[in-house]
Amino acid sequence: MDAKGFVEIDGSFLEGGGQALRNALSLSCILGKPVRVVKIRANRPKPGLSHQHLHGVNLLRDICNADVVGNSLLSTELEFSPRAILGNTYRVETHTAASITLIYQMALPVLLFAGRPSRLFVSGGTNVAFAPQVEYMQQVLLPNLKPFGASFDLKVQQYGFYPRGKGSCQLDVQPVAKLDAGQFLDFGHLQSVSGVAFTAGRLPMSIAIDMQRTAQREIHRHWPNEKCSIQAVKHSPEKAHDNGAGILMTAITSGGCVLGAASLGEKRVDGNVLGSETSGQLAQYLRKEICVDEHMQDQLIIYMALAVGLSRMRTGPLTKHTRTAIHVAEQLTGVKFDVAVESGGHTIVTCEGLGQRNEML
């Protein structure tokens, strides 16, 4: 902590993207600790706050009635001094394709420690690159938060894609008194694979069907006896204004693990390629029998750090995002994460959480 009482977080460390900022500010609100984040997104081609990050910062400012210095577009340094988390209804209109799920990623842990239920409307992109697709948040993040005793309800009012955005969602969050420790160690065996392959706008339903068939065929090739059912949909014009295509596949195992893999169509969309890439990614997780997928890893770190008791996850090699999340969580909470690499490339991440209580309830 410096002389002015700020904990300084170096945003260029490891991944050097937006995640260090999101985790630092969420923890700042929950712990009531002022933070200064410097060198924000230093490793990105256009460093500093983008629309998504700026809207997230201003949202947390409103949720915590915080004092903020440096909250402007492309700013590379920010001081954030939170007050109590009250909980309310909030609206964020990004007017861009800023990722709605990443704004939710920042606000969700904070609202779990609010004094009353909250509702959060955000407009922007629901399915955009380098961020969880909204279906991933609903079908993979939500069940992975269950062991912590945390939950939310997420409704999509309108799907939105790059470059125009125009998506909108409603997130409802019930506060918790505390987070329980999460155990993600027992893979068991594969029980079923489900998911959704979608198109929207001018992209025809046949692309969704190609994604669906290829993805199902690949899973059945390796696991002929397990159920694999991917739904193919074309969003109506009322649900999505623009062109978009993507797929999310979710695997559930007998040990209670829920793993996801997702892909998004870019300029030229080949449904067979998207279906094959996504099922290939999921099959890799399943063959390795890991309990937490590559993207869920970093998203669970903040919950493990705050929980009461020992959380453990069995995953693949740690991503830079995860190591960044661990670094930020250790700096702000004082907890220690233990990372053990096992033969076969498994990693066991263990953390005795801070045992944070919700002072507002």
Ligand X SMILES: Nc1ncnc2c1ncn2[C@@H]1O[C@H](COP(=O)(O)OP(=O)(O)OP(=O)(O)O)[C@@H](O)[C@H]1O
The CA distance from 87 to 175, in Å, is: 9
Nearer to ligand X, 87 or 250 (CB): 250
Q: Show contacts with ligand X in window 78-107 (CB under 6 A).
A: 102
Interacting residue with ligand X among 113, 136, 187, 198 (CB under 6 A): 136
- Annotated ligand binding at 297? The verdict is yes
Handedness of CA 78, 105, 258, 312 (dihedral sign): positive
**Using the rule CB under 6 A, which residue among 34, 82, 124, 132 binds ligand X?**
132
Min dist CB 292 to ligand X, Å, is 11
* Separation between Cα atoms, residue 187 and residue 314, nearest integer Å: 9
- On whether 183 is known to bind a ligand per the annotation, the reply is no
Is 299 labelled a binding residue? yes
Cα dist from 352 to 290, 308, 316, whole Å = 21, 8, 20
Candidate residues 33, 36, 41, 55; the one interacting with ligand X per rule CB under 6 A: 41
User: Which candidate in 220, 321, 327, 346 is catalytic?
Assistant: 321
Site for ligand X in 1-20 (CB under 6 A): 15, 17-19
**Phi/psi of residue 196, each to 5°?**
-140, 135
3-class SS string, 124-155 = EECCCCCCCCHHHHHHHHHHHHHHHCCCEEEE
To ligand X, the closest distance from the beta carbon of 280 in angstroms equals: 14
Of 145-153, 189-197, 265-273, 292-300, which part binds ligand X (CB under 6 A)? 292-300
- Asked if 230 touches ligand X (CB under 6 A), the answer is no
Binding mask 308-327 for ligand X (x = CB under 6 A): -------------x------
Q: Is 307 in the site for ligand X (CB under 6 A)?
A: no
Q: Is 160 in the site for ligand X (CB under 6 A)?
A: no
Find the shortest distance in angstroms from Cβ 162 to ligand X.
12
* Closest separation in Å from C-beta 131 to ligand X: 5
299 is an interface residue for ligand X by CB under 6 A: yes
Q: Which is nearer to ligand X, 131 or 156 (CB)?
A: 131
Binding region for ligand X (CB under 6 A) out of 225-233, 295-303, 305-313, 352-360: 295-303
Residue 126 near ligand X by CB under 6 A: no
Which position among 39, 44, 312, 320 is part of the footprint of ligand X (CB under 6 A)?
44
Give the pair of three-digit tokens for residue 316. 């693949």
Residues 6 or more apart whose Cβ sits within 8 Å of residue 60:
25, 26, 29, 66, 80, 82, 106, 107, 110
Q: Does 276 bind ligand X (CB under 6 A)?
A: no
Q: Which residues contact 113 (CB under 8 A, 6 or more apart)?
A: 29, 30, 85, 175, 176, 356, 358, 359, 360
Task: Write out the two tokens for 110.
Answer: 């904070």
First-to-final CA distance of the chain? 28
Q: For ligand X, how many residues bind (rule: CB under 6 A)? A: 17
Tell me whether residue 321 is one of the annotated catalytic residues.
yes
Q: What is the CA radius of gyration of the chain?
A: 20
> Measured between alpha carbons, how far is residue 63 from residues 26, 177, 361 in Å?
11, 18, 16
CB of 289 to ligand X, least distance (A): 20
Nearest in space to 328 (alpha carbons), one of 2, 31, 72: 31
Dist. CA 155–CA 132, nearest whole Å: 15
* 133 annotated as a binding-site residue: no
* Rounded least distance, CB 263 to ligand X, Å: 7
Annotated binding site for ATP: 105, 295-299
Active site residues: 321
Binding-site ranges for ligand X (CB under 6 A) = 15, 17-19, 41, 44, 52, 102, 130-132, 136, 262, 295, 298-299, 321
